[in-house]
Amino acid sequence: MTKLDQILRQWKDDPQFMRGVTRWEVVPAREGTFSQFPDFLDPQLAFALKNRGIDLLYSHQARAIESINSGNNVVVVTPTASGKTLCYNLPVVSSMIKDPSSRALYLFPTKALSQDQVAELRDLTAGLSVSLNCHTYDGDTEPGLRQGIRRSGHIVVTNPDMLHSAILPHHTKWVQLFQNLKYIVIDEMHQYRGVFGSHVANVVRRLKRICAFYGASPRFILCSATIANPGELAGLLIEEPVEVINENGAPQAEKHFILYNPPLVDPELGLRRSSLLEARQLASNLIREDIQTIVFTRSRLGVEVLLTYLRQNIRTRPGEDSSIRGYRGGYLPRERRAIEEGLRNGTIKGVVSTNALELGIDIGALDAAVMTGYPGSIASTWQQAGRSGRRSGTSLAMLVANSEPLNQYIVANPDYFFGRTPERALADPDNLIILTNHVRCAAFELPFERGERFGRAKIDEILAFLEEENVLYSSDGRYHWMEDTYPAEEISLRSATMENVVIIDITEPRPRVIGEVDRFSAPMLVHEEAIYMHGGLQYQVEKLDFEEKKAFVRRVDVNYFTDANLSVDLKTLDTFEEESGPVNRCWGDVRINALVSMFKKIRFNTHENLGAGPVDLPETEMHTSAFWLSFAPGSLGGMPPSAVQAGLIGLANLAPQVASLFLMGDPRDLRAVSQVRAPFTELPTLYLYDNFPGGVGYSAEIFRIYRDIFKAARKVIVDCRCIDGCPSCIGPSYTGAEPAKKPALQLLEVILK
């Protein structure tokens, strides 16, 4: 019996622990289904695979390779650690053995994945008769290597950001690649949703346009975690027919999957013990027994707080390494590489990570994965759970719920999680702001012909607009770039703004850069007096220079962290679709004005509020799309205005959380605003808006499936045991305020009539 088996038995015999377990699912071990190497696979590759102990292919690998060999675009949809890498490496390398002039481009959503993939490729191709050059080309690539990669790289491994800003605009330096490009690999396709996916689809349009210019017509190989609409999303990204391969042939060891709800601290108020504190205790028990464990949290702040807690729990002798690390965006590349290597070789026993380690980076065979809070989608939850159990033998995946309504819905309805198909991934490549930005980039790369389409998008009006703005000029039926600026530099694929704010430590006489945050998040995370956490250390922000994009911080040792408040004003600009009745349902364009006005100091461990302070930063403005419901006077059955207002506030807390269940979005991708008498409708109105400029399709989807969302919202409130409202349903009730739970239920009954 392994140490993990012993701990699982102890937990099962512990009545206090089992009171918090809402489902203990044992996913049984499963035999794999195998196929012989296909006849067309080069014998050298077959020999290389056998040297690595691979004598047969999984059935999905063989099917994918045969389909690619037949000339099809393919999307492979199987779980973590099912060998998707070979589905594209084998056909790509095999074609290069036959024709060493052919080229391939690999796209991964993160730099860490790119580094990992090159190591895998070099291992596979080490003994071949043909010398294949496999290189990463990203922001960390040394300038001296770049020219050689452009000239002679057989397989160029990069990320969409680098392709967008450094490769496509300079395609004349990449003639060898684009003239001979046979394959384009897009891994972790499910990551390309929402605003990021909308951008990437347009980058692919630009890529295909340049390939066509050089006479190339590459095939696409896409890989994804399990989602409900892989064929639809793949077709959206590449705008070509694609074959879906989703039958997993990989074997699977036994996995214990536990849904755990922390105990109630105050049943009347619905307050539960913090998920961070509960995860701290559970992960500490595992790490103390040398069970290699990964702990996922939803935020950078969560990583640093939990890392601090775990190091406090697992004390070591002075000078001894705790063998616990944090891993998140903002860490420098060398820190991340060292952590990945430590996980592979076993010197690191525990790691606390954001979803940065959810993806397919090789971090070896972990025994346990603890998720602090629901990751936001069923697909992401299974991806994180798949980080444990790569070896044979028992593994553990555990979801520790927090008090948010979304989490409480999942643990209270385990059949929804274990029985439901993962969500649909949404993106909107034709979002006007995103599309216009990429038409600018494409015009810089190559002139547009009058009447030319950009992918499937008609862009005549956009080209005419850019000509009016003196960005383009037309001559002989062609549009040419005429600005001095370089458009791709101004456009970020991952956020509404391009610029990141650099964080500079000024504790020592020589300042040093320790991290960065995106410009949109900076007012929330690095306002003056904020506590910024990095590597388990605390820094107080001395100054935020918003114009220069720099935050200056100094090391401190305090017993609290900070959290900022955001206030929002919303105005309706246009209605796209409307359905009238007792409840009017619409979606359209809105303008959002947001201001970070104050921050709170929250004590470590107890999470009590230690005080607040003001934030003096400028207001930000955003145009986006929204869904809204407005209640006709006769529909409310005489509810007093104070009750209507309380109910709307409760639904504004709950609705974005529940909607994200159905949209495969992060709850932060949607925001809600309630207005007891909205200026636009002159009625009590609830708005749910896409938290991205221009919107990415969430609002239109909510308009279509609103009944499913509000039925689930009603179930959250009915199932919650609090009296007047709590963080697990509509938000906490406050002394002197109108109780919101009953009015929120009344409004839901009106919506669902």
pTM of the predicted model, to two decimals?
Answer: 0.79
**Separation CA 587–CA 184 (nearest Å):** 37
- Type of residue numbered 54: I
- If asked whether residues 95 and 153 sit together in one domain, one would say yes
| One domain for residues 527 and 506 | yes
111 or 504, which is more confident? Answer: 504
Q: What is the pLDDT of residue 605?
A: 63
Whether 39 is covered by a domain: the verdict is yes
Band of the pLDDT at 497, cuts 50, 70, 90? very low
pLDDT interval class at 218 (50, 70, 90): very high
Q: How far, in Å, CA of 575 to CA of 590, rounded?
A: 9
DSSP-assigned states of every residue in 298-364: SSHHHHHHHHHHHHHHS---TT----EEEE-TTS-HHHHHHHHHHHHHTS--EEEE-GGGTSS----
CATH number at residue 59: 3.40.50.300
Residue 354 CB coordination number (10 Å) = 19
Mean pLDDT of 499-516: 85
Which of 490, 515, 532 lies at the terminal end of a domain, its last residue? Answer: 490
Q: Are 478 and 447 in contact (CB under 8 A)?
A: yes
Q: d(Cα 477, Cα 493) in Å, to the nearest integer?
A: 31
Closest CA to 374 of 154, 660, 599: 660
Amino acid (1-letter code) at residue 492: S
**pLDDT number for residue 37:** 94
Residues 376 and 394 in one domain: yes
Find all residues with CB under 8 Å of 229, minimum gap 6, and list them: 424, 425
Helices within 214-329 (DSSP H only): 230-238, 275-288, 300-313
Q: Residue 342's pLDDT is what?
A: 85
Sign of the four-CA dihedral 524, 299, 733, 711:
positive
Residues 609-656 pLDDT 10s? 888 888 888 777 888 899 999 999 889 988 999 999 999 999 998 998
Q: Do residues 169 and 48 share a domain?
A: yes
62/54 Cα distance (integer angstroms): 13
Domain presence at residue 426? no
Question: What pLDDT, on a 0 to 100 scale, did the predictor assign at position 392?
Answer: 63
Strand partners, 602: 561, 609
What pLDDT shows up at residue 7? 95
* Model confidence at 533: pLDDT above 60: yes
Of 698, 622, 624, the C-alpha closest to 667 is: 698
Long-range contacts for 617-621 (Cβ within 8 Å, ≥24 apart)?
A: 617/523, 617/527, 617/544, 617/546, 618/546, 619/593, 619/594, 619/595, 620/520, 620/523, 620/593, 620/594, 620/595, 621/591, 621/592, 621/593, 621/594
Of 181, 215, 245, which residue constitutes the final position of a domain? 245
What single-letter DSSP state applies at residue 388? B
Q: Is the pLDDT of residue 496 over 50?
A: no
- Report yes or no on 427 lying in a domain: no
Report the pLDDT value the prediction gives residue 685, as an integer from 0 to 100.
95
- CA distances 348 to 297, 330, 342, Å, are 18, 20, 5
What tens digit of pLDDT does each residue of 416-436 get?
Answer: 888 877 777 888 898 888 899
Q: Percent of the chain having pLDDT more than 90?
A: 46
Parent domain of 588 = 567-604+619-752
Pair (85, 230) in one structural domain? yes
Residue 195 lies inside a defined structural domain of this protein: yes
**One domain for residues 320 and 366:** yes
- In this predicted structure, the answer to whether residue 107 has a pLDDT above a threshold of 60 is yes
| Pair 311, 395 in one domain | yes
Whether 613 is covered by a domain: the verdict is: no
Strands (E) in 341-476, as ranges, are 350-353, 368-372, 395-400, 448-449, 453-454, 457-458, 472-475
**CA dist 135 → 129, 146, 441 (Å):** 19, 10, 25
More confident residue, 240 or 733: 240
Checking if the pLDDT of 558 tops 60, the result is yes
Tokens of 225: 């975690």
On whether residue 147 sits in a domain, the answer given is: yes
Q: Is residue 611 part of a domain?
A: no
**How far is the C-alpha of 275 from the C-alpha of 1, rounded, in Å?**
29
Q: How confident is the model at residue 378, as a pLDDT? A: 84
In a shared domain, residues 113 and 38: yes
State the burial class of residue 666 (Cβ atoms within 10 Å of its Cβ: 0-12, 13-18, 19+): middle
Q: How far apart are CA 374 and CA 667, in angstroms?
A: 11
Average pLDDT over all residues of the chain: 87
Is residue 577 a contact partner of residue 561, using CB atoms and an 8 Å limit? Answer: no
**The domain boundary residue, chosen from 203, 220, 245:** 245
Task: Give the pLDDT of residue 314.
Answer: 79
Distance CA 615, CA 562 (A): 12
- 8 A C-beta contact, residue 620 and residue 594: yes
On whether residue 89 sits in a domain, the answer given is: yes
Q: What is the per-residue pLDDT for 587?
A: 94
Q: Is 92 in the same domain as 220?
A: yes
Considering the domain architecture, whether residues 14 and 143 belong to the same structural domain is answered as no
Mean pLDDT calculated for residue range 354-378: 80
Q: What is the mean pLDDT of residues 408-423?
A: 83
How many domains are contained in the chain? 5
* Residue of 691, 694, 656, 688 whose CA lies nearest to 675: 688
pLDDT of amino acid 92: 95
Distance CA 408, CA 62 (A): 41
Query: What pLDDT is attached to residue 109?
Result: 84
- The phi, psi pair for 615, rounded to 5°, reads -120, 125
Question: Which residues, other chains included, contact 595 with Cβ-Cβ below 8 Å and sequence gap of 6+?
Answer: 566, 567, 568, 617, 619, 620
Per-residue pLDDT of 68-104, as tens digits, reads 999 999 999 988 778 899 999 999 999 999 999 999 9
Residue 281: predicted pLDDT: 92
Q: What is the pLDDT of residues 690-708, one digit of tens each?
A: 887 777 788 988 999 999 9
- Bridge partners, 135 (sequence order): 156
Q: Is residue 325 located within the same domain as residue 265?
A: yes
Residue 315's CB is within 10 A of a number of other CB atoms, namely 9
Tokens of 651: 């639904």
Measured in residues, the chain has a length of 753
pLDDT at 321: 64
The closest of 184, 277, 251, 249 to 223, measured between CA atoms, is: 184
548 plus 633 within the same structural domain: no
Can you tell me which residue has the tokens 């050298």?
44
Q: Coil, helix or strand for 247?
A: coil
- The more confidently predicted of residues 378 and 703 is 703
Residue 244 burial (CB count, 10 A) = 17
